[in-house]
Amino acid sequence: MTLDPRSGSGRGAPSAPPALRVAGLRRTYGPIVALDGVELEVHVGEMLTLLGPSGCGKTTLLRLVAGLEPPDEGTVEIAGRRVAGPGASVPPERRNVGMVFQDHALFPHLTVADNVAYGIRRDPDRSVRVAELLELVSLHDAGSRMPHELSGGMQQRVAIARALAPRPDVILLDEPFSNLDAALRTQLRGDLREILRAAGATAVLVTHDQDEALTLGDRMGVMVRGRIEQIDVPEVIYSEPATPFVATFVGTANLVHANCEGGIGYTRFGPVRLINRPTPTGRASVVIRPEHLELTEEPDGPAAGDTWRIVRRRFAGSEILLEIEAGDGLRVWCEAGPQVRRLRIGDTVSVRLRDVATVAFAPGRGGASRKLDAAHGRPTGGLALSTEDDAEVVPAPSDVPGP
Amino acid sequence: MTTVVGRAMPGLGPRRFVRRLAPPWPLATIGLGVAVLSLLPISYLLLRAAGTDADALAFIARPRTLSIVVSSVLLGLLVGAGSVLVGLPIAWLTTRTNLPGRRAWAVLTVIPLAIPSYVTGFAFVAAFGPRGALQSLLEPLGVTRLPDIYGLPGAALVLILATYPYVVLAVRGSLMREDRSVEEAARTLGDGRMTAFRRVTLPLLAPAIGAGALLAVLYALSDFGAVSLLQFDSFSRAIYLQYRGTFDRSLAAVLALGLVVLTLAVTYGEARLRSRARHFAGTGPSRPVERVPLGRWHWPALGFMTVVVALALVVPAASIGFWLLRGLAQGEAFRDVGAAIAGSLGMGLVGAVLATAIALPVGLLLARHPSRLTTLVERSSYASFALPGIVVALALVFLTTSTVPFLYQTIILLAVAYAIRFLAHAFGPLRATLLRVGTRVEEAGRTLGDGPVRVFLGVTLPLLRPALLSGAALVFLAIVKELPMALILGPIGFETLATEIWGATSEGFYGRAAGPAALLLVMSAATVTLLLREERR
């Protein structure tokens, strides 16, 4: 990527207010804290994706921005105008946001064209606009059909066209692909990006699918337990995760114990350069991605400190990951490489650390994520950085490491 | 980079198709018999009307016939519109707003469904009629005349109070199933709350409103009790008067056919609306529902609910109570009531047992051997239920007097007529249970070494027990509340609580009607409680 979306690419002049600014947003449902102080800025023309496990508050955030529910605390500003917070409570119909609902929520009693025209009934040129939008979403000949006659993918495109029609300041998409099957999802993902680009729309898309978040977002945020843990361009999220949760939720990560000093982490695999600032000193956990490890078959290989035994293999679309176990019981995931065909479970191998730069977390950082994991029913030891084990491994919920 | 995600199988497994086996001959015979018996009255009526002469044609053209048609249509329209005006706000207030006590209101406002129209009719006549309770209370104050309760206004009011729950139930169901994000989409597209209601919610509710209103219209057209007590000449009362008052009964048959045509048109419209509603049905709210704050509309809303409940429940209860006390004081509240209780209970029990016995094979046939025959059995059963009771009664009179006169005005005829007419009540729960249970458990029984009969007795029948009981209870309830068939088909001297209430009210003996009315309400309340308890198990 040549441009840096962090500086606000797209149509917006540098001095223009952000399309959306959210500050200190909090929302509770009885004892459940759905949003716990969310901070967010979306620039004009930008597409921001929010990734998080279910129940992390993503949908609630969108509903509060749209005005469908009031916040307990915090403010929402759309195009520089305060719409929620102290002294402001603008109802949804006067916020100029578009929303694409998870179930599309098309009006079942209206034709496709009438659905798209719904929000612009006072526009004298609405028929031109509707035709233009139907063209944009490649449904120009479906205008007179009823929603229940359409496939899921077509319904979704109608929902997008309908939300775009009033030229909203920001368009909110709530898991737009979750009701579609896998093959359709990949195709529509590309279409959606084209459509939103062509419309010059500012968009926030929430999803629990990391592929979606990584491929669609100019920037992406990772949400957990009502907070945004990190927000940045996708490649930075992957290569420089801010917290252990982000490291393990986006892609597969081994968290390996190390002693850190002077920007170098000394792991059992060898030293790695640390790029996060401030760099921790002393004991810390270093993020080692599977592709950081190179498999060597000879147990007496150059960097071989340990002998590893293959215990599990996982096919992940374009590559194969192997889980290997050291003599002391530590397990890590690594990429199999070209010799994979010859390897069997139970074989002995050694690994070598490639020359990589990564991040390390001081021991205290794991606390929040450990509690989270307990809440999700995974073994609590998953990120227990303070135990005496040399490293702990947590495969990501979705099986594929990022690009 | 693509994640390979296994496509989730919807549901629990491959869709199960009901095997289309030819039904065993005993089941098929019973099914065919039921269909024939269900369609017999109406077919006979049609045949008989087809054979009428010029007199009948002249009769149809008479101004009085025309005025009956106009009256009936007018009553139907008034009741349809009134039931929507009352029912729609109730449904919306109890599902979508922060109305205080909305759960209690939701229950209170549908109770009138359980009260027969002639009981409400009696209560209103006895309360507001010329020698009614209000009059006698106001007499000392010098009031000698009240506005007339008889005729169209009274009949329409009583029938609206009896039928608005149909609209409440239909609209509530639709509101609760509705996908709330559709309304939210309208809000994000620039509509305020009222505009979104008008542009989205109301159009989506239209089929439910229409279906509920048409049920109300159907009820109003078929109703005999309320219109006859309130002396309004719609079809039902005219048919009865024609039947009782003249020697030429075929003219009553002509009138009955007119009513059938009218009700068929309404039924057709109702079915059309229901199938349209299917496209609009959502899957229900996925998140907690934000209720509309009533604000300053709080008190008007409560006032509205209070007025409806007062008219539909409190007035009947107070009127019955007033006359019950007065009747007790004069010692006539429960005079001769023994025969009526015996008639109602006996006929209800016999009819329920008979209907359940017929429903068991019919339910098996419908659930296990779907075919063109089962469609016929089902449709004809519902058709006989949808026909106005007065029409069925009349048709049976013609049929028996001309073919099997020894059955005319016998208990047997009445019991069979009831069983056939209310059969759908009995096989409905049975079929639902059979479909839910499936054939797997029976097959398991067979693989464990039991023959088909043993499996049926040992496995299927015990599973069907709750459905058999609730079906029987529903039939019992329907028979106990039924009036026109008991009146016309019952043997001389045969009395039920319903005929007793009707007779006493017609003659102005309100004190004598109050006792049976109270007993009838107690009896149906007990049956409903039994049903609900069985449902909860």
403 residues of chain A, pLDDT tens digit each: 344 444 444 444 456 789 999 999 999 988 889 999 999 999 999 999 999 998 889 999 999 999 988 999 999 999 999 999 888 889 999 999 999 998 888 998 899 999 999 999 888 999 999 999 999 898 989 999 998 889 888 999 999 999 999 999 999 999 888 877 777 788 888 888 888 988 889 999 999 988 889 989 999 999 999 999 999 999 999 989 998 899 988 888 889 888 888 888 888 888 888 888 788 888 888 999 888 888 876 555 454 467 888 888 887 667 788 888 888 888 889 888 777 777 888 888 888 888 888 888 887 654 333 333 333 333 333 333 333 333 444 443 443 333 3
- Distance (Å, whole) CA B294 – CA A258: 62
| Contact yes or no for B189 and A119 at CB 8 A | yes
| Contact yes or no for B187 and A402 at CB 8 A | no
**Does the model's ipTM exceed the 0.90 cut?**
no
pLDDT at res. A370: 36
Q: Which residues 6+ apart lie within 8 Å of B12 measured at CB? A: none
Model-level pTM?
0.77
The terminus-to-terminus CA distance of chain B in angstroms comes to: 53
Q: What is the mean pLDDT of residues B468-495?
A: 91
Which residues on A lie below 8 Å from B280 (Cβ)? 108-109
Chain A, window 136-175: residues with a beta carbon less than 8 angstroms from a chain B beta carbon: 146, 148, 159, 162-163, 165-166
Alpha helices by DSSP H, A200-275: 210-216, 234-239, 244-249
- Distance (Å, whole) CA B16 – CA B13: 8
Which residues on B lie below 8 Å from A146 (Cβ)? 279
Q: Which of B189, B199, B200, B204 is the best mutation test for A, with the most CBs of A within 10 A?
A: B189
pLDDT at res. A338: 74
The number of beta carbons lying within 10 Å of the beta carbon of residue A63 is 25
- Residues A339, A297: contact at Cβ < 8 Å? yes
Residue of B nearest to A181 (CA): B7
pLDDT at res. B163: 94
The number of beta carbons lying within 10 Å of the beta carbon of residue B317 is 14
Q: How far is CA B522 from CA A258, B317, B382, B464, in A?
A: 81, 12, 28, 28
Residue of A nearest to B181 (CA): A105
Residue of A nearest to B276 (CA): A109
- Distance (Å, whole) CA B94 – CA B116: 24
> B239-298: per-residue pLDDT in tens?
888 888 776 677 788 888 888 888 888 888 877 777 776 666 665 555 666 788 888 889
pLDDT at res. A270: 85
Rounded mean pLDDT of chain B? 84
Beta-strand pair A360-361/A357-358:
unpaired
Which residues on B lie below 8 Å from A101 (Cβ)? 181, 184-185
Backbone angles phi, psi at B262, to 5 degrees: -60, -45
CA distance B201 to chain A (A): 10
**Closest C-alpha among A57, A63, A24 to residue A40:** A24
pLDDT at res. B287: 63
Q: Which of A54, A64, A68, A167 is the best mutation test for B, with the most CBs of B within 10 A?
A: A68
Confidence class for position B62, pLDDT limits 50, 70, 90: confident
Beta-strand pair A32-42/A20-29:
antiparallel
Residue A8, burial from CB neighbour count under 10 angstroms (0-12, 13-18, 19+): buried
pLDDT at res. A398: 41
| CA A261 to chain CA mean position, Å | 32
For residues B529 and A24, which has the higher predicted lDDT (pLDDT)? A24
| Contact yes or no for B7 and A182 at CB 8 A | yes
Most confident of A296-300, B300-304, B433-437, B530-534: B300-304
Backbone angles phi, psi at B148, to 5 degrees: -70, 125
CA distance B204 to chain A (A): 7
* Least confident among B16-25, B349-358, B507-516: B16-25
Confidence class for position B425, pLDDT limits 50, 70, 90: confident
Q: Dihedral of CA B482/B488/B493/B499: which sign?
A: positive
